[in-house]
Structure 1
Amino acid sequence: MAAKLGGIHHVAIICSDYPRSKAFYSKLLGLQIIAENYRPARDSWKLDLQLADGSRLELFSFPQAPARPSQPEAQGLRHLAFKVANLADYVAYLTANGVSVEPVRIDEYTGKAFTFFQDPDGLPLELYQH
């Protein structure tokens, strides 16, 4: 039998404005900072963040990283989805903090509510009511 994957350990994101993205993910979205390191050889920051379920997000800065097209439906990572217990409350929270959120939709296969918003670099993020 082949080895089985145990889950997603982390997702890595390269940002264009490190302080802005650090505040967005740690302060606005509330991800816990585990470690923050400056890597002089790469002139790069690496921020390790953790979600409540133990999964992680790594935030990187690189000088002059090229922009990655994300709209419409570019190849590569389509979006990053976060599960939430109460979608309406989280949408209200984001909206109150100046984040534009798309209208809530219902997944035609699961019947669950979901919506999309973007991080400071336009990366599509999803909230999925779990």
Structure 2
Amino acid sequence: MEFKGIHHVAIICSDYEKSKRFYVDTLGLKIVNEIYRQERDSYKLDLEVGGVYQIELFSFPNPPERPSTPEDQGLRHLAFEVDDVEKVKRELEDRGVEVEDVRIDPVTEKKFTFFKDPDQLPLEIYEI
């Protein structure tokens, strides 16, 4: 068995339009495709990240809440690679996003920090 990479990450949001604005307008991700699935009363928005990976943003009627802090059981967080954590942190803050203080990874000695999406999903920016 050989995995070639990660194809996509799927996120179910509580307010589709609010999350769409956040991921497209605030984070600047490119829309690849958007469809409405009548039979599921659900939108699916495919987003491009750096021309390589996709995030699938879904809406479903009344999705149950899930714990979403980085230390909760399950998927820990979604991390974006960036060239300059400090610069991206400032850009996010300029767009009204609350961002934690920058930390240094004790193993790699790379800078990283966290912020949250509209549903409090932990997102990370990690300096490459």
**TM (normalized to structure 1)?**
0.95
SS of match in other structure, 1:41? helix
Which stretch shifts more, 64-73 or 100-109?
64-73
- Pairwise CA distance, 1:93: 0.5
Task: Give the match for residue 63 of structure 1.
Answer: 61
In structure 2, the CA distance between the partners of 1:72 and 1:84, relative to structure 1 (3 Å rule), is closer
Equivalent in 32, 35, 40 of residue 34 of structure 1: 32
Deviations 1:59-103 (A, max 9, x none): 000000001111362211110000001111100001111110000
Number of paired residues? Answer: 128
Q: After the TM superposition, which residues 12-91 of structure 1 pair with which residues of structure 2 at under 5 Å, given as runs?
A: 12-71=10-69, 73-91=71-89
Unaligned segments of structure 2, at least 5 residues: none
Q: After the TM superposition, which residues 113-124 of structure 1 pair with which residues of structure 2 at under 5 Å, given as runs?
A: 113-124=111-122
Unaligned segments of structure 1, at least 5 residues: none
**Rounded Cα–Cα distance in structure 2 between residues aligned with 1:94 and 1:51:** 16
**Rounded Cα–Cα distance in structure 1 between residues aligned with 2:70 and 2:6:** 25
What percentage of aligned pairs have identical amino acids? 58
Deviations 1:2-34 (A, max 9, x none): x21001110000000101100111111111100
Q: Output the amino acid matched with 2:2.
A: K
In structure 2, the CA distance between the partners of 1:86 and 1:72, relative to structure 1 (3 Å rule), is closer
Q: Output the amino acid matched with 1:97.
A: R
Runs of 4+ in 1 over 4 A off after TM superposition: none
**Rounded Cα–Cα distance in structure 2 between residues aligned with 1:15 and 1:74:** 18
Cα RMSD (Å) of the superposition?
A: 0.9
**TM (normalized to structure 2)?**
0.97
